[in-house]
Amino acid sequence: MSKKPAHDKAKTKAKAGPTQRTIALNKRARYEYHLVDRFEAGLALQGWEVKAIRGGRANLTDGYAYVQDGEIYLIGAQITPLIQASTHVVANDRRTRKLLLHRHEIDKLIGRVERDGYTLVPTAMYWSGNKVKLEIALAKGKKEHDKRDTAKDRDWQREKQRAMRHRNKDA
3-state secondary structure of 58: strand
Say whether pTM exceeds 0.85: no
CATH number (3.10.105.10, 2.60.120.10, 3.40.50.970, 2.40.280.10) of 19-142 reads: 2.40.280.10
Q: What's residue 152's pLDDT?
A: 87
Residue 2 confidence class, pLDDT cut points 50, 70, 90: low
- CA dist 38 → 26, 115, 123, 136 (Å): 13, 18, 9, 6
Residue 63 is given by DSSP the state: -
pLDDT digits (tens, 9 = 90+) for 7-19: 554 444 444 445 5
Inform me whether the pLDDT recorded for 118 exceeds 60. Answer: yes
